[in-house]
Amino acid sequence: LYVKETEANLADLNETVTNIEQTRPVTQLTVDDVVKAKPEIVTRTEEMVKNGQFTVDGYDEKFPSLVMI
């Protein structure tokens, strides 16, 4: 019973390790790479620009500004 589950988990983990080993560093990613992986980004970005929204919700809360006032 547990043998099949364990084998399935190991197969998934092996696939994940292979994917990790074959990836490029983030610094080598292009916009085209990101759009290929997440095509909905284009639609969301177009909506944001159309609405004059040039900031991402929650960004300032997560990454506070370091600018001195």
Which region, left, alpha or beta, applies to residue 52 given φ > 0 means left and ψ of -120 to 50 means alpha? Answer: left
pTM of the model: 0.48
pLDDT digits (tens, 9 = 90+) for 53-63: 888 888 888 88
Give 11's pLDDT tier (boundaries 50, 70, 90): very high
pLDDT digits (tens, 9 = 90+) for 31-67: 999 999 999 999 999 999 999 988 888 888 888 888 8
The pLDDT value recorded for residue 1 is 66
The pLDDT value recorded for residue 7 is 94
C-alpha closest to that of 35 among 45, 25, 27, 23:
45
